[in-house]
């Protein structure tokens, strides 16, 4: 979803374990979200 926020992603994915970092990908020219993100968990098993 192009309208999602980091806090929405955190709320949805924290159920799988503590999140270390969320990296949302943006278009370099427009600054608009590209519609995907990377989530890094505190522990590899999560």
**Tokens read off for 18:** 């503590």
Q: Quick one: which of 28, 39, 29 has its CA closest to 6? A: 39
Asked whether residue 12 is domain-assigned, the answer is: yes
Asked whether residue 35 is domain-assigned, the answer is: no
Asked whether residue 10 is domain-assigned, the answer is: yes
**Tokens read off for 44:** 């590899």
Instruction: Residue 2: give the domain boundaries.
Output: 1-30
Only one residue has tokens 């980091």, namely 6
Q: Which helix (H) or strand (E) holds 4?
A: none
Asked whether residue 40 is domain-assigned, the answer is: no
Q: Which pLDDT belongs to residue 1?
A: 79
Measured distance CA(10)–CA(31) in Å, rounded = 21
Asked whether residue 7 is domain-assigned, the answer is: yes
* pLDDT tens column, 1-46: 788 999 999 999 999 999 999 999 999 999 999 999 999 999 987 6
Give Dmax (Cα) for the chain: 36
Domain tally, the chain: 1
Q: Which pLDDT belongs to residue 29?
A: 96
């Amino acid at each position: 979803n192009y309208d999602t926020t980091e806090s929405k992603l955190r709320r949805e994915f924290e159920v799988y374990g503590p999140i270390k970092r969320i990296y949302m990908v943006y278009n370099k020219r427009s600054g608009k979200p590209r519609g995907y993100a990377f989530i890094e968990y505190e522990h590899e098993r999560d």
